[in-house]
Amino acid sequence: MRKIKQACNELTQSSKGFLLIDFLLAFGCLVMFIIFLLPVIYHAMNHNQSLQQAMVAEEHLSRYVTQSIGSEVAGEIVTIEGYEFNWSTEHLENKQFGCFTWLNQQNNEESMCLYVPIYKE
């Protein structure tokens, strides 16, 4: 009987150490979760920036193409809403063809092109 009481006393005395270990394990798990989550958040933010840049290009591309009907531009740098685009246009038969190219956050080149038909009477 004394051995059981002694074992119970030892168990209750070591419970303070158990709480510290429990806290450290929970903190370690939380830190690991945050470390694995940070690259996902960073990638999502970069992807959002690339989408905004593509939306700006799409919004202004048709206006630039229609304004440049009958002319040709090669490699002109245009800044729209804080983004730099390389603007080029070409007149082909009965179409005006224009492209915006730009570098995204990962330094990959992206482009968006559009053509407008030209009707002659």
- Measured distance between the N- and C-terminal CA atoms of the chain, rounded to whole angstroms: 111
pLDDT score for 32: 92
Q: Which domain holds residue 106?
A: 2-117
What would the pLDDT profile of 71-117 be if each residue is shown by its tens digit?
A: 787 878 888 888 888 888 888 888 888 899 888 877 888 888 888 88
More confident residue, 75 or 34: 34
Rg of the Cα trace of the chain? Answer: 31
pLDDT at 5 over 70: no
pLDDT score for 47: 79
Domain count, the chain: 1
Task: Tell me the mean pLDDT in the region 16-41.
Answer: 86
Four-point Cα dihedral 75, 81, 82, 85, nearest 10: -20
